[in-house]
Amino acid sequence: MFCHIDFSMKIKAAIVGYGNVGKSVEKCIAETSDFELVGIFSRRAPNTLNSPYGAKFFEQKELFGERFQGQIDVAILSVGSAFDAQELGLKTAAHFCIVDSFDTHAKMKEYVETLNTAGKMCGTLAIVGCGWDPGLFSLMRALFASVMPDSIPQTFWGRGVSQGHSEAVRKIEGVKYATQYTVPNEEAVRLAREGRTDFATREKHTRECYVVLDYEKHFGKPESDITEIEKQAFEEEVAAQIVNLPNYFAEYDTTVHFVNEAEYLANHTRMSHAGRVVAVEKHGEVGSRAEFELALDSNPDFTAQVMVAYARANYLLARSGETGAMTVLDVPIKYLLRGGKSGIAFV
């Protein structure tokens, strides 16, 4: 019923990946008394990496060797939406229980089903999509749809930085730095609160890009030799490429701002994000509105905290014999709570 677990034994965690999210998970584990860090497994050479918390680094392939078998309660995959995130998840789940923040909504079902089969075979438990969306926002959409069955929950993201969209802009020839802000349309939010649900994609969000161009590299000559007309033509060309990029920008109204490196580094390197889920139901004159909102100065820090909470749940569920794959919808909230804090205190 309620979980009364002795947390004098710590949960042995491994971090897989040492980018922004990996570093945030490292910090979160250092500050979480019921966890201990076995090590950080990165693709980069261990001797090139430094931990502010004195963590041990290992090559990623070592994770699958004999040395760590049975030594890790849960591996926290901190590779974001890397192209091989699914493959790495499956490979890791063959050896260890895992949590991740896999975030390609469209591939989630297939990923969970494959992991479920693998986990049941190997006796491990995977809890995937443990960020804020997918993650807490998924919980809210399902909760709202359950208790307000005539509602169609609406999700708004931002204002905040989308790593995926920023990355897409950075891949364009001539772009040195780029940050993409997803901006919710406040008028659409207001209408959603009144019960409107039939928004076109373009109506709910706009996109803003802050871009630094590498003119010298593009034109193959010193910046002093490049005319304003040349620069402007290049900017127009890049802007056109951005706003027409299919899947990323073509369906949205996008504005592109070209800024210099100093301004970019001063103002556009933060990783803040925000968002809300709104559900409205009306039965004649009688209405209900439910709303969940997040405002995060650091998207990676918050994502890390969500993953660590679900890593605790993974440990508890795996110890009770669960194997296979789960999402946040499968996990009772009590399993996220620290030992000692009985669930009842919150009821």
Contact status: 123 vs a copy of itself (CB under 8 A): no
Stretch that binds a copy of itself, among 53-61, 162-170, 239-247, 296-304 (CB under 8 A): 296-304
Give the whole-angstrom CA distance, residue 49 versus residue 129.
Answer: 27
Please report, as residue ranges, which positions from 325 to 344 form the binding site for a copy of itself (by CB under 8 A): 325-334, 336-338, 341, 343-344
Beta carbon nearer to a copy of itself, 161 or 328: 328
Q: Quickly count: other Cβ atoms within 10 Å of residue 198's Cβ.
A: 7
Q: Are 212 and 259 in contact (CB under 8 A)?
A: yes
Question: How many residues line the site for a copy of itself (CB under 8 A)?
Answer: 60
Contact status: 243 vs a copy of itself (CB under 8 A): no
Q: Are 250 and 244 in contact (CB under 8 A)?
A: yes
CB of 243 to a copy of itself, least distance (A): 30
Contact status: 242 vs a copy of itself (CB under 8 A): no
Contact status: 189 vs a copy of itself (CB under 8 A): no
Contact status: 32 vs a copy of itself (CB under 8 A): yes
Q: What is the DSSP string of 6-38?
A: -TTSPEEEEEE--SHHHHHHHHHHHT-TTEEEE
Q: Please, what's the b/e burial string for 13-42 (b: 16 or more CB within 10 A of its CB; e: otherwise)?
A: bbbbbbebbbbbbbbbbeebebbebbbbbb
Contact status: 290 vs a copy of itself (CB under 8 A): yes
Please report, as residue ranges, which positions from 254 to 283 form the binding site for a copy of itself (by CB under 8 A): 283
Beta carbon nearer to a copy of itself, 33 or 71: 33
Contact status: 236 vs a copy of itself (CB under 8 A): no
Contact status: 188 vs a copy of itself (CB under 8 A): no
Stretch that binds a copy of itself, among 68-76, 93-101, 248-256, 288-296 (CB under 8 A): 288-296
Q: Are 73 and 11 in contact (CB under 8 A)?
A: yes
Give the whole-angstrom CA distance, residue 24 versus residue 1.
Answer: 32
Give the whole-angstrom CA distance, residue 235 versus residue 227.
Answer: 12
Give the whole-angstrom CA distance, residue 226 versus residue 231.
Answer: 7
Residue at 106: amino acid letter:
A
Contact status: 194 vs a copy of itself (CB under 8 A): no
Q: What residues line the site for a copy of itself (CB under 8 A)? A: 1-2, 32, 105, 108-109, 112, 116, 129, 134, 136, 138-139, 141-143, 145-149, 283, 285-298, 301-302, 305-306, 309, 324-334, 336-338, 341, 343-344, 346-347
